[in-house]
Amino acid sequence: MSNPFEDKDDAYVVLINDVGQYSLWPAFALVPAGWTQVFGQDREACLAYIEAHWTDMRPRQASESITEVAAGDRG
């Protein structure tokens, strides 16, 4: 049995959660709770979308907290 996350010929979607993390997901699978579909196409297009949009691997709240602390240090 092949891994549905690695089949280059299947359709995929891109999911995002509330903290801005992205996931490549097989199009046939139900979207898990807490995730929203934001893009869908072939595997390579989905990977390109994630590469272009997920520029900070830290969860949104963590990156915002670090930015706030850094801004406070300049004050």
Res. 1: pLDDT tops 80: no
pLDDT of residue 57: 76
Cα dist. 71→11, 27, 52, 64, 74 in Å?
43, 41, 26, 10, 5
Sign of CA dihedral 40, 42, 44, 45: negative
Structure letter (DSSP) for residue 32 = P
Structure letter (DSSP) for residue 31 = P
- Which domains can be identified in the chain, with CATH numbers? 11-74 (3.90.820.10)
The overall average pLDDT reported for the chain is 83
Per residue in 41-60, pLDDT (tens digit) is 899 999 999 999 998 877 76
Per residue in 14-45, pLDDT (tens digit) is 999 999 999 999 999 999 999 999 999 899 99
pLDDT of residue 18: 93
